[in-house]
């Protein structure tokens, strides 16, 4: 298989670090550059001792993020940068002929207006919003294969969109009244050195935050609208819990059909199972749970898998869908590598199992 040269800009955050780990072990990608202002000049092994077993980690040094240099060093460039910073790197890299896979939120929206509503300033490169492909391979696989700019989804959106999109597309659940209650491990906040993320502030702590309007709602609702064929507004409550990695999402949905009898519930259940089987039965990174099993973050941490289970509740007439994923893998870097594999024509699972 033909290898490609890849670079990571912003390789010292949690997502960047995870991405570097994946690329070091990747059978076809050749990691040629990693950038970090803070660590410029140090080797990967010096900054991240856990990578020291990879020979490359002892020679590859962090460099300054200069796009003209990077464009000569790499065919594909990952941007693992804070929101708002990624755009200024994407433009020159694309112009120089690189493929760009962006892990920030900068290119995830199609609508520049919606961007302004949620981010409170104009988008710096609105013409690119149209060209960017939303990097959720289970939904946009064919588009990703041909993409020059991939906007890789965030962790909360992934855990909500994967379970919801097939149900909305099939018209099984109402597009109104959707509630998403999400629990996130602390690495979801990134490597932020702030009091809120100190060990002693998180260790015995379970707490909601960003209630009621979280920024990620913008991309979640836009994608749900595409699936539902009309505007979707959801209730989303993120919580921080004391795990390192992992997101557990519980979705409360209203099926279109009533199911007050045992028979109606059985029939609706079969429809749901069929929709999910069709959507994800052959997906390597979506695991539909059978029997009494429910999603559990410990079963997906360290993997690129999103677990999904669901229950119909005859007492309330609702469908409860639950998902679990590793926020740093399927919710960030693993998913970005999935896109890389698609773009390069490699097996989609390369470097991911």
Residues with active-site annotation:
155
Helix (H) or strand (E) holding 240: strand 235-240
Q: Does 209 bind its own copies (CB under 8 A)?
A: yes
Q: Does 325 bind its own copies (CB under 8 A)?
A: no
Q: Does 138 bind its own copies (CB under 8 A)?
A: no
Q: Does 298 bind its own copies (CB under 8 A)?
A: yes
Q: How crowded is the C-beta side of 238, counted as CA atoms within 13 Å?
A: 20
Phi–psi pair at 118, nearest 5 degrees: -90, -30
Termini Cα distance of the chain = 18
Query: Could you give the CA distance from residue 209 to residue 232 in angstroms, rounded to a whole number?
Result: 22
Stretch that binds its own copies, among 74-82, 121-129, 268-276, 312-320 (CB under 8 A): 312-320
List 303, 347, 348, 350, residue binding its own copies (CB under 8 A): 303
List 212, 260, 262, 263, residue binding its own copies (CB under 8 A): 212
Q: How crowded is the C-beta side of 142, counted as CA atoms within 13 Å?
A: 0
Stretch that binds its own copies, among 102-110, 125-133, 155-163, 316-324 (CB under 8 A): 316-324
* Secondary structure (3-state) at 65: coil
Query: Could you give the CA distance from residue 107 to residue 93 in angstroms, rounded to a whole number?
Result: 14
Instruction: Report 7-46 residues binding its own copies (CB under 8 A).
Output: 14, 25
Instruction: Report 264-293 residues binding its own copies (CB under 8 A).
Output: 284-285, 287, 289, 293
Shortest Cβ distance from residue 63 to its own copies (Å)? Answer: 21
Helix (H) or strand (E) holding 6: strand 4-9
Q: Does 137 bind its own copies (CB under 8 A)?
A: no
List 50, 131, 258, 266, residue binding its own copies (CB under 8 A): 50
130/315 with CB nearer its own copies: 315
List 41, 230, 231, 302, residue binding its own copies (CB under 8 A): 302
CB atoms within 10 A of CB 170: 17
Query: Could you give the CA distance from residue 100 to residue 132 in angstroms, rounded to a whole number?
Result: 9
105/288 with CB nearer its own copies: 288
Q: Does 47 bind its own copies (CB under 8 A)?
A: no
Q: Does 97 bind its own copies (CB under 8 A)?
A: no
Distances from the Cα of 126 to the Cα of 9, 50, 132, 178, 276, angstroms? 22, 39, 10, 30, 35
Q: Does 296 bind its own copies (CB under 8 A)?
A: yes
Instruction: Report 54-83 residues binding its own copies (CB under 8 A).
Output: 54
Q: Does 198 bind its own copies (CB under 8 A)?
A: yes
- DSSP lists the bridge partners of residue 90 as none
């Amino acid at each position: 298989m033909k290898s490609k040269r890849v670079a990571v800009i912003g390789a010292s955050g949690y997502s960047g670090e995870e991405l570097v780990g994946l690329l070091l072990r990747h059978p076809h990608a050749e990691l040629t550059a990693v950038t970090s202002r803070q660590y410029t000049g140090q080797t990967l092994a010096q900054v991240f001792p856990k990578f020291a077993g990879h020979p490359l980690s002892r020679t590859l040094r962090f460099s300054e993020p200069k796009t003209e240099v990077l464009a000569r060093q790499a065919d594909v460039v990952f941007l693992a940068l804070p929101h708002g910073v990624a755009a200024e790197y994407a433009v020159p890299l694309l112009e120089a002929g690189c493929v760009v896979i962006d892990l920030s939120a900068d290119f995830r929206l199609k609508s520049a207006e919606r961007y302004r509503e949620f981010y409170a300033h104009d988008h710096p490169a609105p013409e690119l919003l149209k060209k960017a492909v939303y990097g959720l391979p289970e939904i946009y696989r064919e588009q990703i294969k041909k993409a020059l700019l991939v906007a890789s989804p965030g962790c909360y959106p992934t855990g909500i969109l994967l379970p919801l999109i097939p149900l909305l597309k099939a018209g099984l659940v109402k597009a109104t009244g959707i509630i998403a209650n999400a629990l996130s491990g602390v690495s979801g906040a990134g490597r932020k050195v702030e009091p809120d993320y100190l060990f002693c502030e998180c260790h015995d702590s379970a707490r909601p935050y960003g209630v009621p309007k979280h920024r990620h709602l913008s991309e979640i609702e836009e994608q749900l609208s595409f699936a539902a064929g009309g505007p979707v507004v959801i209730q989303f409550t993120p919580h921080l819990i004391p795990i390192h990695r992992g997101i557990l999402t519980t979705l409360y949905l209203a099926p279109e059909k009533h199911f007050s009898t045992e028979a109606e519930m059985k029939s609706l259940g079969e429809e749901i199972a069929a929709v999910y089987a069709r959507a994800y039965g052959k997906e390597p990174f979506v695991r539909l749970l059978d029997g009494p099993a429910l999603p559990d973050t410990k079963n997906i941490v360290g993997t690129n898998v999103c677990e999904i289970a669901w229950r119909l509740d005859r007492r309330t007439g609702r469908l409860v869908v639950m998902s679990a994923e590793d926020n740093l893998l399927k919710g960030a870097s693993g998913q970005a590598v999935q896109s890389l594999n698609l773009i390069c024509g490699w097996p989609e699972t390369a470097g991911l199992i």
